[in-house]
Amino acid sequence: MNPFNTFFMGGYECADHINRFGKRINLLQETQHDIRVEEDYQSLAALGIRVVREGICWSNVERTAGAFDFSEVLCRMRAAERYGIQQIWDLIHFGYPDGLYPTHPSFCDRFVALCRAFGIFYKANARQPLFVVPINEISFLSWLSGEVRGTVPFAVHCGFDIKYHLCKAAILGIKEIKEIDPECRIILVEPLVQIHSKEGEFDSELAAKNVHQFQAMDIIAGRMCPELGGEDALLDILGFNYYWNCQWEDRGETLPWPSFDERRTPLSKLLERAYRRYGRPIFLSETGHFGCGRIPWLEEVTLECLKVMKKGVDFYGICIYPVTDRPDWDDLARYSNCGIWDLDKSGNRIPEVHYMEAIAMQQVLVERIALSMSHRPRLSYL
Protein backbone atom coordinates (compact mmCIF):
# COMPACT_ATOMS: atom_id res chain seq x y z
CA MET A 1 0.00 0.00 0.00
CA ASN A 2 1.31 3.42 -1.00
CA PRO A 3 2.35 5.23 2.22
CA PHE A 4 2.47 8.68 0.63
CA ASN A 5 -0.38 11.16 0.97
CA THR A 6 -0.33 12.30 -2.67
CA PHE A 7 1.04 10.88 -5.91
CA PHE A 8 2.74 14.15 -6.84
CA MET A 9 5.34 15.40 -4.40
CA GLY A 10 7.57 18.45 -4.21
CA GLY A 11 11.25 18.76 -3.39
CA TYR A 12 12.92 21.77 -1.78
CA GLU A 13 16.55 22.39 -2.69
CA CYS A 14 18.66 21.76 0.40
CA ALA A 15 22.24 21.22 -0.83
CA ASP A 16 24.71 22.47 1.80
CA HIS A 17 28.10 21.36 0.49
CA ILE A 18 31.30 23.27 -0.19
CA ASN A 19 31.33 24.17 -3.87
CA ARG A 20 34.25 23.85 -6.28
CA PHE A 21 35.49 27.31 -5.27
CA GLY A 22 35.75 26.28 -1.62
CA LYS A 23 32.68 28.25 -0.53
CA ARG A 24 30.06 26.74 1.75
CA ILE A 25 26.59 27.03 0.22
CA ASN A 26 23.21 26.49 1.88
CA LEU A 27 20.43 26.53 -0.67
CA LEU A 28 17.80 26.14 2.02
CA GLN A 29 18.83 29.62 3.13
CA GLU A 30 19.55 30.99 -0.35
CA THR A 31 15.99 30.22 -1.43
CA GLN A 32 14.66 31.45 1.95
CA HIS A 33 12.69 28.24 2.42
CA ASP A 34 13.92 28.10 6.01
CA ILE A 35 12.19 31.38 6.88
CA ARG A 36 9.27 31.18 4.41
CA VAL A 37 8.25 27.58 5.02
CA GLU A 38 4.73 28.58 6.12
CA GLU A 39 4.12 30.39 2.85
CA ASP A 40 5.75 27.60 0.85
CA TYR A 41 3.71 24.82 2.43
CA GLN A 42 0.45 26.72 2.24
CA SER A 43 1.00 27.40 -1.47
CA LEU A 44 2.04 23.83 -2.24
CA ALA A 45 -0.91 22.34 -0.36
CA ALA A 46 -3.21 24.58 -2.40
CA LEU A 47 -1.91 22.76 -5.49
CA GLY A 48 -2.91 19.44 -4.00
CA ILE A 49 0.67 18.39 -3.26
CA ARG A 50 1.07 17.21 0.33
CA VAL A 51 4.35 15.27 0.28
CA VAL A 52 7.74 17.00 0.29
CA ARG A 53 11.40 16.12 0.27
CA GLU A 54 13.40 18.17 2.75
CA GLY A 55 16.95 18.14 4.11
CA ILE A 56 18.25 18.77 7.62
CA CYS A 57 21.50 20.39 6.32
CA TRP A 58 24.05 18.49 8.42
CA SER A 59 26.57 21.34 8.25
CA ASN A 60 24.01 23.58 9.94
CA VAL A 61 22.69 21.26 12.67
CA GLU A 62 26.16 20.18 13.88
CA ARG A 63 28.40 23.23 13.80
CA THR A 64 30.35 21.90 16.77
CA ALA A 65 31.26 18.22 16.73
CA GLY A 66 28.80 16.22 18.82
CA ALA A 67 26.48 19.16 19.51
CA PHE A 68 23.23 19.03 17.55
CA ASP A 69 20.69 21.81 17.09
CA PHE A 70 17.53 20.77 15.25
CA SER A 71 15.53 23.89 16.12
CA GLU A 72 15.22 25.05 12.50
CA VAL A 73 14.20 21.52 11.45
CA LEU A 74 11.53 21.59 14.16
CA CYS A 75 10.08 24.77 12.66
CA ARG A 76 9.57 22.97 9.36
CA MET A 77 8.10 19.95 11.13
CA ARG A 78 5.56 22.14 12.91
CA ALA A 79 4.66 23.93 9.67
CA ALA A 80 4.09 20.56 8.01
CA GLU A 81 1.64 19.61 10.77
CA ARG A 82 -0.32 22.80 10.26
CA TYR A 83 -0.73 22.31 6.51
CA GLY A 84 -1.07 18.53 6.36
CA ILE A 85 2.30 18.03 4.67
CA GLN A 86 4.13 14.70 4.81
CA GLN A 87 7.94 15.09 4.95
CA ILE A 88 10.82 12.95 3.71
CA TRP A 89 14.09 13.94 5.39
CA ASP A 90 17.53 13.80 3.75
CA LEU A 91 20.31 13.54 6.37
CA ILE A 92 23.08 14.14 3.84
CA HIS A 93 22.25 16.19 0.76
CA PHE A 94 25.85 16.55 -0.47
CA GLY A 95 27.16 18.48 2.55
CA TYR A 96 29.03 17.62 5.76
CA PRO A 97 30.28 19.70 8.69
CA ASP A 98 33.54 21.59 8.20
CA GLY A 99 36.62 19.39 8.13
CA LEU A 100 34.67 16.19 7.47
CA TYR A 101 34.50 14.06 4.30
CA PRO A 102 33.61 10.42 3.52
CA THR A 103 37.14 8.95 3.83
CA HIS A 104 37.89 10.83 7.04
CA PRO A 105 38.61 8.41 9.93
CA SER A 106 35.79 9.93 11.99
CA PHE A 107 33.18 10.12 9.24
CA CYS A 108 31.22 6.96 10.05
CA ASP A 109 31.18 7.63 13.79
CA ARG A 110 30.02 11.21 13.22
CA PHE A 111 27.29 10.11 10.82
CA VAL A 112 26.03 7.39 13.14
CA ALA A 113 25.91 9.97 15.94
CA LEU A 114 23.88 12.25 13.66
CA CYS A 115 21.46 9.43 12.85
CA ARG A 116 21.10 8.64 16.54
CA ALA A 117 20.51 12.26 17.51
CA PHE A 118 18.02 12.87 14.71
CA GLY A 119 16.16 9.64 15.40
CA ILE A 120 15.76 10.50 19.09
CA PHE A 121 14.81 14.11 18.30
CA TYR A 122 12.25 13.07 15.71
CA LYS A 123 10.64 10.44 17.89
CA ALA A 124 10.28 12.97 20.70
CA ASN A 125 8.79 15.75 18.56
CA ALA A 126 7.06 14.31 15.50
CA ARG A 127 3.41 13.41 15.00
CA GLN A 128 3.88 11.59 11.70
CA PRO A 129 5.93 8.48 10.79
CA LEU A 130 9.57 9.01 9.87
CA PHE A 131 10.63 8.76 6.23
CA VAL A 132 14.38 9.26 5.86
CA VAL A 133 16.94 9.30 3.05
CA PRO A 134 20.26 8.61 4.80
CA ILE A 135 22.47 9.88 1.96
CA ASN A 136 21.06 11.43 -1.19
CA GLU A 137 22.53 10.17 -4.50
CA ILE A 138 25.61 8.33 -3.30
CA SER A 139 26.60 7.61 -6.90
CA PHE A 140 26.44 11.25 -7.96
CA LEU A 141 28.13 12.51 -4.81
CA SER A 142 30.95 9.98 -5.29
CA TRP A 143 31.49 11.21 -8.83
CA LEU A 144 31.25 14.90 -7.89
CA SER A 145 33.71 14.67 -5.02
CA GLY A 146 35.89 11.77 -6.15
CA GLU A 147 36.24 12.25 -9.90
CA VAL A 148 35.75 15.90 -10.89
CA ARG A 149 36.79 17.85 -7.76
CA GLY A 150 33.32 19.35 -7.34
CA THR A 151 33.30 19.26 -3.53
CA VAL A 152 35.33 17.87 -0.64
CA PRO A 153 37.70 16.10 -0.72
CA PHE A 154 38.18 17.56 -4.28
CA ALA A 155 39.65 14.33 -5.63
CA VAL A 156 40.05 12.56 -8.97
CA HIS A 157 40.19 8.81 -9.70
CA CYS A 158 38.71 8.11 -6.24
CA GLY A 159 35.02 7.76 -7.05
CA PHE A 160 34.60 4.16 -5.94
CA ASP A 161 36.57 4.73 -2.74
CA ILE A 162 34.24 7.61 -1.86
CA LYS A 163 31.23 5.44 -2.75
CA TYR A 164 32.52 2.60 -0.59
CA HIS A 165 32.84 4.83 2.47
CA LEU A 166 29.49 6.55 1.91
CA CYS A 167 27.81 3.14 1.67
CA LYS A 168 29.61 2.02 4.83
CA ALA A 169 28.24 5.06 6.65
CA ALA A 170 24.76 4.56 5.19
CA ILE A 171 24.60 0.93 6.35
CA LEU A 172 25.64 1.83 9.88
CA GLY A 173 23.33 4.83 9.94
CA ILE A 174 20.29 2.89 8.73
CA LYS A 175 20.81 0.26 11.41
CA GLU A 176 21.12 2.98 14.05
CA ILE A 177 17.90 4.70 12.97
CA LYS A 178 16.05 1.39 12.81
CA GLU A 179 17.23 0.60 16.33
CA ILE A 180 15.68 3.83 17.59
CA ASP A 181 12.56 3.70 15.42
CA PRO A 182 11.86 0.24 13.95
CA GLU A 183 8.78 1.61 12.13
CA CYS A 184 10.66 4.29 10.16
CA ARG A 185 10.75 3.95 6.38
CA ILE A 186 14.21 4.08 4.82
CA ILE A 187 14.37 5.51 1.30
CA LEU A 188 17.45 5.03 -0.88
CA VAL A 189 17.74 7.63 -3.64
CA GLU A 190 20.02 7.23 -6.66
CA PRO A 191 20.22 8.64 -10.21
CA LEU A 192 18.59 6.65 -13.00
CA VAL A 193 20.73 6.82 -16.15
CA GLN A 194 21.37 5.18 -19.49
CA ILE A 195 24.70 5.34 -21.32
CA HIS A 196 24.56 4.69 -25.06
CA SER A 197 27.03 3.57 -27.67
CA LYS A 198 27.80 6.14 -30.35
CA GLU A 199 27.25 3.43 -32.94
CA GLY A 200 24.08 2.19 -31.30
CA GLU A 201 25.47 -1.34 -31.02
CA PHE A 202 25.66 -3.61 -27.98
CA ASP A 203 28.93 -3.35 -26.11
CA SER A 204 29.70 -5.57 -23.10
CA GLU A 205 31.91 -2.89 -21.54
CA LEU A 206 29.13 -0.35 -21.95
CA ALA A 207 26.64 -2.75 -20.40
CA ALA A 208 28.91 -3.02 -17.35
CA LYS A 209 29.06 0.78 -17.10
CA ASN A 210 25.27 0.96 -17.03
CA VAL A 211 25.22 -1.39 -14.05
CA HIS A 212 27.49 0.95 -12.06
CA GLN A 213 24.48 3.13 -11.26
CA PHE A 214 23.21 0.30 -9.03
CA GLN A 215 26.44 -0.21 -7.07
CA ALA A 216 25.40 1.86 -4.05
CA MET A 217 22.09 0.05 -3.65
CA ASP A 218 23.82 -3.28 -4.27
CA ILE A 219 26.36 -2.55 -1.53
CA ILE A 220 23.70 -1.50 0.96
CA ALA A 221 21.75 -4.66 0.06
CA GLY A 222 24.84 -6.81 0.69
CA ARG A 223 25.17 -7.90 -2.94
CA MET A 224 28.58 -6.22 -3.19
CA CYS A 225 31.23 -5.62 -0.54
CA PRO A 226 29.56 -7.93 2.03
CA GLU A 227 32.23 -7.03 4.58
CA LEU A 228 30.36 -3.74 5.14
CA GLY A 229 27.39 -5.57 6.60
CA GLY A 230 24.77 -4.66 4.02
CA GLU A 231 21.66 -6.77 3.75
CA ASP A 232 18.57 -6.95 1.61
CA ALA A 233 16.38 -6.01 4.58
CA LEU A 234 17.86 -2.49 4.52
CA LEU A 235 16.09 -1.80 1.22
CA ASP A 236 12.62 -0.44 1.90
CA ILE A 237 11.51 2.17 -0.65
CA LEU A 238 13.72 3.08 -3.62
CA GLY A 239 13.76 6.51 -5.21
CA PHE A 240 15.25 7.29 -8.60
CA ASN A 241 16.19 10.76 -9.83
CA TYR A 242 15.74 11.33 -13.54
CA TYR A 243 16.31 14.42 -15.69
CA TRP A 244 16.62 15.17 -19.39
CA ASN A 245 20.42 14.79 -19.22
CA CYS A 246 20.39 11.31 -17.65
CA GLN A 247 20.99 9.65 -21.01
CA TRP A 248 24.24 10.26 -22.88
CA GLU A 249 26.74 8.82 -25.34
CA ASP A 250 29.63 6.89 -23.86
CA ARG A 251 32.43 9.46 -23.49
CA GLY A 252 30.21 11.86 -25.41
CA GLU A 253 27.34 14.30 -25.28
CA THR A 254 23.94 14.16 -23.64
CA LEU A 255 21.26 12.81 -25.97
CA PRO A 256 19.10 15.73 -27.03
CA TRP A 257 15.63 16.36 -25.66
CA PRO A 258 12.98 17.08 -26.86
CA SER A 259 14.63 16.55 -30.24
CA PHE A 260 13.91 12.99 -31.31
CA ASP A 261 16.75 10.52 -30.84
CA GLU A 262 15.83 6.90 -31.43
CA ARG A 263 18.55 5.78 -29.03
CA ARG A 264 16.75 7.24 -26.01
CA THR A 265 15.41 4.49 -23.77
CA PRO A 266 11.89 5.21 -22.54
CA LEU A 267 11.77 6.10 -18.85
CA SER A 268 9.20 3.34 -18.30
CA LYS A 269 11.76 0.71 -19.34
CA LEU A 270 14.41 2.17 -17.03
CA LEU A 271 11.99 2.16 -14.10
CA GLU A 272 10.82 -1.38 -14.80
CA ARG A 273 14.44 -2.55 -14.97
CA ALA A 274 15.17 -1.02 -11.55
CA TYR A 275 12.02 -2.53 -10.06
CA ARG A 276 12.83 -5.98 -11.37
CA ARG A 277 16.37 -5.73 -9.99
CA TYR A 278 15.29 -5.16 -6.39
CA GLY A 279 11.61 -6.00 -6.09
CA ARG A 280 10.98 -3.01 -3.84
CA PRO A 281 8.43 -0.21 -4.22
CA ILE A 282 9.86 2.63 -6.30
CA PHE A 283 9.07 6.24 -7.06
CA LEU A 284 10.57 9.06 -9.09
CA SER A 285 12.31 10.95 -6.30
CA GLU A 286 13.40 13.93 -8.44
CA THR A 287 12.46 15.13 -11.87
CA GLY A 288 11.88 18.43 -13.61
CA HIS A 289 13.05 20.71 -16.38
CA PHE A 290 13.58 24.42 -16.94
CA GLY A 291 11.99 27.26 -18.88
CA CYS A 292 9.44 26.29 -21.49
CA GLY A 293 10.49 22.63 -21.22
CA ARG A 294 8.85 22.17 -17.83
CA ILE A 295 5.37 21.34 -19.09
CA PRO A 296 6.22 18.90 -21.92
CA TRP A 297 8.76 17.18 -19.66
CA LEU A 298 6.20 16.69 -16.90
CA GLU A 299 3.64 15.37 -19.38
CA GLU A 300 6.11 12.90 -20.86
CA VAL A 301 7.37 11.70 -17.49
CA THR A 302 3.85 11.24 -16.12
CA LEU A 303 2.80 9.13 -19.11
CA GLU A 304 5.92 6.97 -18.74
CA CYS A 305 5.22 6.43 -15.05
CA LEU A 306 1.62 5.50 -15.80
CA LYS A 307 2.93 2.87 -18.21
CA VAL A 308 4.85 1.09 -15.46
CA MET A 309 1.86 1.33 -13.14
CA LYS A 310 -0.32 -0.31 -15.79
CA LYS A 311 2.22 -3.15 -15.91
CA GLY A 312 1.75 -3.70 -12.19
CA VAL A 313 4.97 -2.09 -10.96
CA ASP A 314 4.67 -1.02 -7.33
CA PHE A 315 5.15 2.67 -8.14
CA TYR A 316 4.47 5.35 -5.52
CA GLY A 317 4.68 8.73 -7.23
CA ILE A 318 6.57 11.61 -8.84
CA CYS A 319 8.55 14.26 -6.97
CA ILE A 320 8.76 17.55 -8.86
CA TYR A 321 12.14 19.08 -8.11
CA PRO A 322 12.57 21.84 -7.15
CA VAL A 323 9.41 23.49 -5.89
CA THR A 324 11.13 26.88 -5.78
CA ASP A 325 13.83 27.76 -8.29
CA ARG A 326 17.45 27.09 -7.41
CA PRO A 327 20.67 29.06 -7.90
CA ASP A 328 23.69 27.44 -9.47
CA TRP A 329 25.99 25.89 -6.87
CA ASP A 330 29.06 27.63 -8.22
CA ASP A 331 27.39 30.92 -9.14
CA LEU A 332 24.66 31.83 -6.67
CA ALA A 333 23.65 34.85 -8.77
CA ARG A 334 22.50 32.57 -11.62
CA TYR A 335 19.09 30.88 -11.41
CA SER A 336 17.74 28.04 -13.55
CA ASN A 337 14.04 28.96 -13.99
CA CYS A 338 13.10 25.42 -13.10
CA GLY A 339 10.67 25.76 -10.20
CA ILE A 340 6.92 25.68 -9.78
CA TRP A 341 7.74 29.09 -8.37
CA ASP A 342 10.71 30.93 -9.83
CA LEU A 343 12.66 33.41 -7.70
CA ASP A 344 13.83 36.95 -8.16
CA LYS A 345 16.96 38.42 -6.55
CA SER A 346 15.01 39.20 -3.39
CA GLY A 347 13.77 35.65 -3.04
CA ASN A 348 10.19 36.53 -3.99
CA ARG A 349 8.14 33.62 -5.31
CA ILE A 350 6.98 34.07 -8.92
CA PRO A 351 4.30 31.49 -9.72
CA GLU A 352 4.61 29.66 -13.03
CA VAL A 353 0.88 29.62 -13.69
CA HIS A 354 0.93 27.48 -16.84
CA TYR A 355 3.14 24.93 -15.09
CA MET A 356 0.70 24.81 -12.19
CA GLU A 357 -2.18 24.25 -14.60
CA ALA A 358 -0.24 21.41 -16.22
CA ILE A 359 0.40 19.83 -12.81
CA ALA A 360 -3.33 19.99 -12.05
CA MET A 361 -4.12 18.28 -15.36
CA GLN A 362 -1.62 15.51 -14.66
CA GLN A 363 -3.12 15.01 -11.21
CA VAL A 364 -6.54 14.43 -12.78
CA LEU A 365 -5.03 12.02 -15.32
CA VAL A 366 -3.26 10.01 -12.63
CA GLU A 367 -6.38 9.82 -10.47
CA ARG A 368 -8.44 8.56 -13.40
CA ILE A 369 -5.88 5.94 -14.42
CA ALA A 370 -5.25 4.85 -10.83
CA LEU A 371 -8.99 4.31 -10.29
CA SER A 372 -9.21 2.09 -13.36
CA MET A 373 -6.23 0.04 -12.12
CA SER A 374 -7.36 -0.35 -8.51
CA HIS A 375 -7.74 -4.13 -8.87
CA ARG A 376 -4.82 -4.75 -11.22
CA PRO A 377 -2.27 -7.29 -9.88
CA ARG A 378 1.30 -6.24 -9.12
CA LEU A 379 4.14 -7.19 -11.44
CA SER A 380 6.22 -10.12 -10.30
CA TYR A 381 9.94 -9.44 -10.24
CA LEU A 382 13.04 -11.44 -10.99
Q: What percentage of the chain has pLDDT greater than the value 70?
A: 97
Average pLDDT over residues 49-57: 98
Tell me what pLDDT residue 200 has: 61
**CATH code reported for the domain at 8-372:** 3.20.20.80
379 pLDDT band, cuts 50/70/90, is very low
Task: Write the DSSP string, 66-131.
Answer: TB---HHHHHHHHHHHHHT-EEEEEEESS---TT--TTSTTHHHHHHHHHHHHHHHHHHH-SS--E
Task: Let me know: does 52 contact 44? Beta carbons within 8 Å.
Answer: yes
Reported as a single tens digit per residue, the pLDDT across 123-176 is 999 999 999 999 999 999 999 999 999 999 999 999 999 999 999 999 999 999
How confident is the model at residue 380, as a pLDDT?
Answer: 42
Q: pLDDT tens digits for 187-226?
A: 999 999 999 998 766 688 899 999 999 999 999 999 999 9
In this predicted model, which residue has the larger pLDDT, 76 or 259?
76
Would you list the domain boundaries of the chain? 8-372
* Contact in structure between 82 and 39 (CB atoms under 8 Å): no
Is the per-residue pLDDT at 261 higher than 70?
yes
The pairing of strands 282-287 and 315-320 is: parallel
CA-nearest of 338, 364, 363, 340 to 351 is 340
Give the Cα separation of 68 and 65 in Å (integer): 8
